[in-house]
Amino acid sequence: MASALKILWNIHINKENLWIKWIHGTYLKHNDVWHVQARKGDSWMWRQILKVRDKAQGLYRGTDNLKQLIFSCSKNSNIRLSALSSVLSPTTNLVPWHSIVWEKLNYPKHSFVSWLAVQDRLLTQDKLINRGIVNNNNCSLCTDTENRNHLFFECCFSRDVWIMVMEWLQFKWKSCNWDQILSWYSVRFRGNGFKQKIKKIALTSTVYSIWCERNARIFKQKRRTAAQLFRDIKINIMSIILNDHFPDEIREWICSL
Ligand SMILES: [Zn+2]
């Protein structure tokens, strides 16, 4: 829509351009681009441009509003497409944990499991018992009852793992409370600093690994110790860092820990 409106605007101001002169001579013939109607035999492209115009006029309640909106995105009579595009985009409300869960360096499976965890949609035992699928809600990592907040990271097993991760990465602030961790991350890790990225990767990687460990114990009768799980998380994080374009000092820092 932004591109089509830019074309319409250039036709409107009769920008010095051979194609626009041709449009004026062939389709407009002294008509106004905001009101001209498509005729039989007009090109597909021209009809599409007019369709977008009609749609935008409807959305912005009239030609004058639309013209004002397009003009507000111009600089020295050139339309800035990015500005126009963002004006046209509906405002999105980003959830505060968006950049933690969807950090670009995360493995997609880590992001996906963390996304479910943040929304409390993982099928933990408390949910399965409510649905009548299981008849006890024991945590497979300890003997307490399992729910999202217990599993990440109040459980004595996952607490040990998460503390090892936090100590390894020299977290100044430590917590094993899911809500505290999430709100702390949402406030402190908004930026794109390399250490921030690593700490975001560490959280989603740990969530994923604990979820896998819990499933391995239930479905495969396999178990790792907290130290083994920590080692695997560390390998995961190191391989993401060493395979990406991190500055040398960050690589040296992570290798020195
Ligand atoms: Zn537990």
What would the pLDDT profile of 208-257 be if each residue is shown by its tens digit? 999 999 999 999 999 999 999 999 999 999 999 888 888 888 888 888 88
Amino acid code (one letter) for 72: S
What would the pLDDT profile of 15-42 be if each residue is shown by its tens digit? 888 999 999 999 998 888 999 999 889 9
Helix (H) or strand (E) holding 74: strand 74-75
What is the rounded CA–CA span in Å between residue 241 and residue 106? 10
More confident residue, 242 or 117: 117
Cα 102 to averaged position of ligand 1 atoms, centre (Å): 27
User: Which pLDDT value is given to residue 221?
Assistant: 94
Q: Average of pLDDT values for 126-142? A: 90
Transcribe 77-127 into DSSP letters. Answer: TEE-HHHHHHHHSPP----TTHHHHT-TTS-HHHHHHHHHHHTT-S--HHH
What would the pLDDT profile of 177-218 be if each residue is shown by its tens digit? 999 999 899 888 877 788 999 999 999 999 999 999 999 999
Cα 149 to averaged position of ligand 1 atoms, centre (Å): 10
pLDDT class of 157 with cuts at 50, 70, 90: very high
CB-CB contact of 60 with 66 (8 Å): yes
What's the whole-model pTM score? 0.67
User: Which pLDDT value is given to residue 14?
Assistant: 84
Cα 154 to averaged position of ligand 1 atoms, centre (Å): 7
More confident residue, 58 or 77: 58
* Three-state secondary-structure class, residue 49: helix
What would the pLDDT profile of 135-155 be if each residue is shown by its tens digit? 888 999 998 999 999 999 999
CB-CB contact of 2 with 84 (8 Å): yes
Q: Is a pLDDT exceeding 80 seen at residue 91?
A: no
What is the rounded CA–CA span in Å between residue 15 and residue 21? 8
Those residues with Cβ within 8 angstroms of residue 171's Cβ, 6 or more apart along the chain or in another chain:
199
CB-CB contact of 27 with 46 (8 Å): yes
More confident residue, 157 or 59: 157
Cα 228 to averaged position of ligand 1 atoms, centre (Å): 17
What is the rounded CA–CA span in Å between residue 21 and residue 27? 10
User: Which pLDDT value is given to residue 152?
Assistant: 95
What would the pLDDT profile of 39-62 be if each residue is shown by its tens digit? 889 999 999 999 999 999 998 888
What is the rounded CA–CA span in Å between residue 77 and residue 71? 8
What is the rounded CA–CA span in Å between residue 52 and residue 60? 12
User: Which pLDDT value is given to residue 95?
Assistant: 85
Lowest mean pLDDT among 88-97, 135-144, 161-170, 220-229: 88-97
Cα 146 to averaged position of ligand 1 atoms, centre (Å): 6
Cα 234 to averaged position of ligand 1 atoms, centre (Å): 22
Output the CA–CA distances (angstroms, integers) from residue 108 to 35, 112, 113, 194, in the order listed: 48, 6, 9, 19
User: Which pLDDT value is given to residue 92?
Assistant: 67
Cα 153 to averaged position of ligand 1 atoms, centre (Å): 8
What would the pLDDT profile of 6-17 be if each residue is shown by its tens digit? 999 999 988 888
Cα 179 to averaged position of ligand 1 atoms, centre (Å): 17
What is the rounded CA–CA span in Å between residue 112 and residue 21? 52
